[in-house]
Structure 1
Amino acid sequence: MVHFVGAGPGATDLITVRGAELLRNADVVIYAGSLVNPALLGLCRPGAVLYNSAQLTLEQVLDITQKADAAGQQIVRLHTGDPCLYGAIREQMDALQKRGISFDLTPGVSSFCGAAAAAQAEYTLPGVSQTVIITRMAGRTPVPEGENIASLAAHGATMVIFLSAGLLDGLQVELLKGAYTAQTPAALVYKATWPEEKVLRCPLGELAETGRRHGIRNTALVLVGDFLAAGYDRSRLYDPTFTTGFREASQ
């Protein structure tokens, strides 16, 4: 059995209870060493065999998995954040199905949630934005046609941009082709929830320079949108003049 487990955004106590229990019971752990906090491996039992997938190809991961499964061992495939975002798990699951190997998924806290917590922000504010676009800048690998940054920025919605901290100059240019302006609030969140976490706020027009000044080149999310500003409408959810399915308006 293979258990895909979301390790959370970094802090060791932000893995789920289920994920931690699976790690403790695993015979084999294949972890994304480039991003998963290595302290989480301290949950593994003595004798568990650990593999860093940052040094492996998909084929090597599958070979390790197949041998362990044939030996009746419990396998954890430990991914950063939640594996449904930029986890490259679909190709693994499809390959496991072809080999007749059972698997399940345990969700994790994504780094985009950790980044909002670090910035003490709410992505969806009444009167500001009710849409969150999660994406990345095209770099060594492309993005599908129609999903370029400028096209998505045209919505003016909240944007959370992964895997792009090394491309800030180009990212800033593309974002400014959309509905944002040079004064639109932005933030670089470096290693959200890790001990070395940094939140760097700036106007969008200063995004690239802020990254250079603080040496941010990787392991950071870019947040863009007016949700980072001060203004918003009061939620109707707790408004005394608004009737809900659980409460009558008092005025």
Structure 2
Amino acid sequence: MQRKKDHMMANEAEFAENALRVDLAAAFRLAAMFGWDDAIFTHMSVRIGETDTFLINPLDLMFEEVTASSLLKIDLEGHKIGDQKGVVNPAGFVIHSAIHAARHDARAVIHLHTPAGQAVSAMKCGLLPYTQTAMIASAGGIGYHSFEGIATRDDEKKRIVADLGNSAVMIFRNHGTLATGASVADAFSRIYALERACQAQCLMSVGSLDDLLAPPPGAAEQVIEDLRAFSGAGSMLWQAWLRKLDRLDTGFRS
């Protein structure tokens, strides 16, 4: 009886991990489709259940090449679990292991280097709450982390974690953007809003930032309140994106 129970639990764990692999692979394909990729650089990850292991992309694959089976399973020390091909991105390991170790609610972490995200990361004003999308992006709090060079040193972990705090998203100064979430779908919805907000701000900055119309007082707080009425929208959006990917190419599922 115990052997049968253990077998069932193992099958459930394998099924859950496979589902995470498909979602994370989908996130890479969507990012490539949106033009958010940066050759083989930048990274996304998702924690596996309640373990201290997570899935992350191998350094040698472009986003458009990532599949469910190609994702690496590593622990918080950066060791690959099992016999896996692929190289662990040192910067990816530092950033993602730091957040996964400190924030168990941040089950998924997405980090990008888009031109718009980098542009806003270099603006002293940071992300301005001048559009509805920017207010949505920062509704869960936004942190800022100062540039320290390519994030390959372990001692930067504590500063990344401190600067993120309890925020849902963060801007790495002179570097890029990051979003967290309770699931891949959640984190992807947040990075989508953050990137769209950065794009809009870049368009705004073509003129003078002094000429922009600031929203009325309390607008950002009202958006946070309004978002509660759309609690199921993120799941619907994720399913819509998955359907779009399946129409284009189901290869990410392999």
Higher helix fraction: Structure 1 or Structure 2? 2
User: Which is richer in strand?
Assistant: 1
Report the TM-score range of the alignment, normalised by the length of the smaller protein.
Answer: under 0.3
TM-score (norm 1): 0.28
TM-score by length of 2: 0.28
